[in-house]
């Protein structure tokens, strides 16, 4: 086998799709016979929404037609209001979608692309040498071995793959918090039909999807489409509760946090319902993302105790690694060492994001004072922009040369391009996961060996980043990040070709 992916969750399946787009037929080993119906993540936030749009997955995940639209209104950071109307070209995109739906959409897509998904097959060990990796797998038919050129662990925070190759997972484990989550039924007359806000007598209105902090903990209310309302509480230094989580325990926790009684009824319907308690949390990043021919993505490489960023970061790990592995298999440029160099900074920023939120959500009068000051700072557009970039992951730029164009190393901007065949979205051009050269010079003279060229002008009705940079050419990697760009009327052809050779290999390579 060329590549074996261990783990059939969203990250492993996204990687399988990327490998298949790159001409590699991956094998995916997933120990579960069926996708888990346990409610987990509730959606995607930030750059990852634009990434799935570039692969044509946004409509299937969102359940509505059209491209993603940025949030230009109200958002939250550590239960503090973030007014995104102050931010030009808001980087915050949101895509509310249950994780089970994400898995089903990605699995269907991976199957359509020819991936070999083996459910009920559990990885139990590996041994690697210079030429490949031998895996041991338990299946319903018995134990067997697989030989692969590369292996990727996308197998959760407890990653057996990571442990098998001896990669450390340093970080911090704490037991300060207890979080509880449950699908519930709420009094219909407490919900504002216009805004969706939950009005709690004795407390006041609570806006949907926007967490709040009180002196006694945190609370959020999420009326996800097609599911009963999801309520979550976070309490600090609360005594541990033994035994299974109950609805009565959830109601008592809500009462302590809000200092108001909220009648929580059993959720209607037969779909799987959340009712869970989590004591403590972990923030960890792997010592390294690669050991020889073995790589880590998603929770196998990083976990965060707060902020809900794990899936957002993990799916982008998969998109970054997928085309690079495919290139290595197919004889293209070997850029595998750039994977960790580019993706670790994203994890490090997510650690900062998680820790900052945890500090601002903690109880105590001193934290309340800090929140008042921080709230004043958020009235400044520059501060709000910086926090919005942090929330979205838009403040991570892949390593580039000091004299590189301002767009180099960033996810390509959303552009509407006027071509001889009509107006086309750049996101639609990126669906095949191939290198692209966007020639905006108007002269039609740019080319790079082995790279598809799109000659176009930016549609005059589109407001985009080109107005600030006067960009005339963009060389895009398969993951839609900018490998090279120019703002010159006559771009440097030698620099363009050098960038293409670095990322995509010598002329004639696969």
- The DSSP element (H or E) to which 299 belongs, if any, is none
Query: By mean pLDDT, which of 36-45, 59-68, 242-251, 294-303 is the weakest?
Result: 36-45
CATH of the domain at 46: 3.50.50.60
**Same domain (yes/no): 50, 136:** yes
Domain's final residue, options 231, 252, 281: 281
**Same domain (yes/no): 155, 65:** yes
Residue 77 inside a domain? The answer is yes
> What's the predicted TM-score (pTM) here?
0.90
Percent share of the chain, pLDDT over 70: 96
**Same domain (yes/no): 144, 71:** yes
Q: What per-residue confidence (pLDDT) applies to 394? A: 94
Residue 335 corresponds to which tokens in the numbers above?
């850029």
Nearest to 58, CA basis, from 441, 430, 489, 443? 430
Residue 243 inside a domain? The answer is yes
Integer Cα distance of 210 and 206 in angstroms: 8
**Structural domain total, the chain:** 3
Q: Which carries the bigger pLDDT value, residue 470 or residue 256? A: 256
Is residue 468 pLDDT above 60, yes or no? Answer: no
Q: How far is CA 371 from CA 179, 192, 385, 427, in A?
A: 21, 28, 18, 39
**Same domain (yes/no): 31, 160:** yes
Integer Cα distance of 23 and 331 in angstroms: 11
Give the pLDDT confidence of 88-98 residue by residue, as tens digits: 889 999 998 98
Q: How far is CA 4 from CA 26, 76, 113, 145, 266, in A?
A: 6, 39, 16, 12, 42
**Same domain (yes/no): 153, 199:** no
- Alpha carbons within 13 angstroms on the beta-carbon side of residue 270 total 0
Is residue 508 pLDDT above 90, yes or no? Answer: no
Residue 108 inside a domain? The answer is yes
Is residue 459 pLDDT above 80, yes or no? Answer: no
Percent share of the chain, pLDDT over 90: 76
Domain's final residue, options 392, 418, 436: 392
Give the pLDDT confidence of 306-348 residue by residue, as tens digits: 655 788 999 999 999 999 999 999 999 999 999 999 999 999 9
Residue 438 inside a domain? The answer is yes
CATH of the domain at 211: 3.30.70.2450
Number of C-beta neighbours around residue 337 at 10 A: 10
Domain's final residue, options 281, 314, 345: 281
**Same domain (yes/no): 344, 426:** no
Is residue 216 pLDDT above 60, yes or no? Answer: yes
Is residue 104 pLDDT above 90, yes or no? Answer: yes
CATH of the domain at 482: 3.40.30.120
Give the pLDDT confidence of 249-300 residue by residue, as tens digits: 999 999 999 999 999 999 988 777 889 888 878 889 999 999 999 999 999 9
Average pLDDT over residues 5-14: 97
**Same domain (yes/no): 96, 47:** yes
Q: Are 245 and 38 in contact (CB under 8 A)?
A: no
Q: What per-residue confidence (pLDDT) applies to 280? A: 79
Give the pLDDT confidence of 205-214 residue by residue, as tens digits: 999 988 899 9
Q: What per-residue confidence (pLDDT) applies to 308? A: 59
Give the pLDDT confidence of 375-399 residue by residue, as tens digits: 999 999 999 999 999 999 999 999 9
Residue 399 inside a domain? The answer is no
Q: Residues with Cβ < 8 Å from 114, sequence gap 6 or more?
A: 20, 25
Q: How far is CA 18 from CA 162, 270, 425, 501, in A?
A: 22, 34, 20, 21
- Range of 479's domain? 410-504
When mean pLDDT is compared over 66-75, 142-151, 198-207, the highest value belongs to 142-151
Residue 188 inside a domain? The answer is yes
Residue 303, helix vs strand vs coil: strand
Average pLDDT over residues 180-195: 93
Average pLDDT over residues 11-26: 98
**Same domain (yes/no): 58, 132:** yes
**Same domain (yes/no): 293, 153:** yes
**Same domain (yes/no): 277, 187:** yes
Is residue 464 pLDDT above 50, yes or no? Answer: no
**Same domain (yes/no): 456, 480:** yes
Residue 405 inside a domain? The answer is no
Average pLDDT value over all residues in the chain: 91
Q: Are 95 and 44 in contact (CB under 8 A)?
A: yes
Average pLDDT over residues 404-419: 94
**Same domain (yes/no): 130, 167:** yes
Residue 106 inside a domain? The answer is yes
Q: What per-residue confidence (pLDDT) applies to 509? A: 52
Query: By mean pLDDT, which of 45-59, 142-156, 307-321 is the weakest?
Result: 307-321
Q: How do strand 122-128 and strand 133-139 relate by DSSP bridges?
A: antiparallel
Angle at 325 between CA 410 and CA 304, to 5 degrees: 60
Number of C-beta neighbours around residue 243 at 10 A: 7
């Amino acid at each position: 086998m060329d590549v074996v992916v261990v783990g059939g969750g969203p990250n492993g399946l996204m990687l399988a799709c990327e490998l298949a787009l790159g001409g590699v037929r991956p094998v995916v080993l997933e120990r579960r016979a069926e996708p888990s119906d346990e409610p987990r993540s509730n959606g995607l936030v930030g750059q990852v929404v634009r990434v799935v749009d570039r692969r044509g997955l946004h409509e299937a995940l969102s359940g509505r037609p059209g491209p993603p639209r940025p949030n230009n209104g109200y958002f939250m950071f550590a239960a503090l209001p973030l007014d995104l109307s102050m931010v030009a070209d808001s980087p915050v995109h949101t895509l509310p979608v249950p994780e089970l739906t994400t898995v089903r959409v990605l699995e269907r897509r991976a199957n359509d692309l020819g991936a070999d998904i083996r459910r009920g097959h559990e990885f139990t060990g590996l041994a690697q040498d210079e030429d490949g990796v031998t895996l041991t797998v338990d299946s319903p038919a018995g134990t067997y071995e697989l030989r692969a050129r590369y292996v990727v662990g996308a197998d959760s925070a407890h990653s057996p793959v990571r442990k098998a190759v001896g990669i450390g997972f340093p970080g911090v484990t704490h037991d300060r918090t207890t979080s509880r989550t449950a699908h519930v039924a709420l009094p219909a007359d407490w919900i504002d039909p216009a805004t969706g806000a939950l009005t709690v007598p004795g407390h006041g209105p609570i806006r949907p999807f926007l967490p709040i902090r009180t002196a006694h903990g945190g609370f959020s209310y999420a009326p996800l489409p097609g599911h009963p309302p999801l309520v979550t509480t976070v309490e600090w230094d609360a005594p541990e509760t033994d035994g299974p989580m109950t609805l009565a325990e959830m109601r008592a926790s809500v009462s302590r946090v809000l200092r108001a009684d909220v009648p929580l009824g059993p959720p209607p319907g037969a779909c799987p319902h959340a009712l869970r308690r989590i004591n403590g949390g972990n923030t960890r990043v792997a010592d390294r993302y690669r050991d020889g021919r073995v790589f880590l993505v998603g929770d196998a490489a990083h976990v965060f105790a707060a902020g809900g960023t794990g899936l957002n970061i993990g799916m982008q790990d998969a998109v970054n690694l997928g085309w690079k592995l495919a290139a290595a298999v197919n004889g293209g440029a070997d850029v595998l060492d750039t994977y960790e160099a580019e993706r670790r900074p994203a994890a490090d920023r997510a650690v900062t994001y998680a820790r900052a939120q945890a500090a601002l959500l903690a109880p105590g009068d001193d934290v309340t004072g800090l929140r008042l000051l921080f709230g004043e700072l958020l009235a400044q557009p520059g501060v709000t922009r910086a926090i919005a970039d942090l929330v979205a992951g838009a403040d991570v730029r892949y390593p580039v040369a000091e004299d590189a164009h301002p767009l180099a190393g960033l996810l390509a901007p959303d552009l509407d391009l006027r071509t001889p065949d009509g107006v086309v979205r750049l996101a639609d051009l990126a669906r095949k996961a191939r290198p692209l050269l966007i020639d905006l010079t108007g002269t039609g003279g740019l080319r790079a060996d082995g790279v598809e060229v799109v000659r176009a002008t930016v549609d005059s009705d589109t407001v985009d980043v080109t107005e600030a940079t006067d960009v005339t050419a963009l060389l895009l990697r398969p993951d839609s990040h900018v490998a090279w760009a120019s703002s010159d009327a006559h771009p440097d052809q030698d620099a363009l070709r050098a960038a293409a050779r670095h990322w995509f290999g010598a002329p004639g390579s696969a």
